[in-house]
Chains A and B, each alone.
Chain A
Amino acid sequence: DGGITQSPKYLFRKEGQNVTLSCEQNLNHDAMYWYRQDPGQGLRLIYYSQIVNDFQKGDIAEGYSVSREKKESFPLTVTSAQKNPTAFYLCASSIRGRNTGELFFGEGSRLTVL
């Protein structure tokens, strides 16, 4: 079945460590996104990519980095510079560029900093 796969589902990290969250899609979608979700808040955009080898910062990009070397993959690195990294991270994709259609979400990765 087509879809978006995020891994790991749960991740624990010590302060000062970088961690990379994986996001893979086999929907042949051009655009991919990373969102952060905190309790009682809506989804906030971290980074997005509309095409391979290109990506743009979202509203809360500080302390995060991404790459888009393949159409199917859009990994997110949470760096030690991110001051409050504990959150639920959601990867999404859409057929075309931003905001031209529905977003398909992965199941999410829950990161806890110890």
Chain B
Amino acid sequence: GQQVMQIPQYQHVQEGEDFTTYCNSSTTLSNIQWYKQRPGGHPVFLIQLVKSGEVKKQKRLTFQFGEAKKNSSLHITATQTTDVGTYFCAGNQGGKLIFGQGTELSVKP
């Protein structure tokens, strides 16, 4: 079936360390979105990537969309305790938005 695989499921880091989560699709994506969900909260939109090879930055966050438009990554530089939460990718497969399982990030001060 249609799936977007996201790894890792959990990541524990020391404050100041970097963090990366990856999403992979077996089929080409029209676009991919990223969301952040704080503990006990609801998902909040971060960004949408559309073009092959696209790279976008938001302060310490760097988002990439693969050349084949089948994979994407979110990299956080020098994590802070405010980065805690679950990060979801959502890939558009043939007009259908498929969410990855999410990566739960915990940051130890």
Contact = CB atoms under 8 A, between A and B. Distances in A.
Interface of A: 35, 40-45, 90, 98-99, 101-108
Interface string B23-46: 000000011010100000111110
A65 to B, nearest CB: 21
Q: Is the interface of B mostly helix, strand, loop or mixed?
A: strand
A43 B96 CA distance: 13
B44 A105 contact: yes
Interface string B5-36: 01001000000000000000000001101010
Contacts of B52: none
Tell me the interface secondary structure of chain A in the complex. Answer: loop
The interface centre, meaning the residue of A43, A44, A105, A106 with most chain B CB atoms within 10 A of its CB, is: A43
Contacts of A43: 43, 88, 90, 99
B97 interface: yes
Nearest to B94: A99
Given A40-B9, A99-B30, A104 B45 contact: yes
Contacts of A42: 4, 6, 88, 98-102
B86 to A, nearest CB: 10
Contacts of B97: 45, 98-99, 103
A101 B42 contact: no
Contacts of B80: none
A13 B63 CA distance: 41
15 contacts: A42-B98, A42-B99, A42-B101, A43-B43, A43-B88, A43-B90, A43-B99, A45-B97, A98-B95, A99-B92, A102-B45, A102-B48, A103-B35, A107-B41, A108-B42
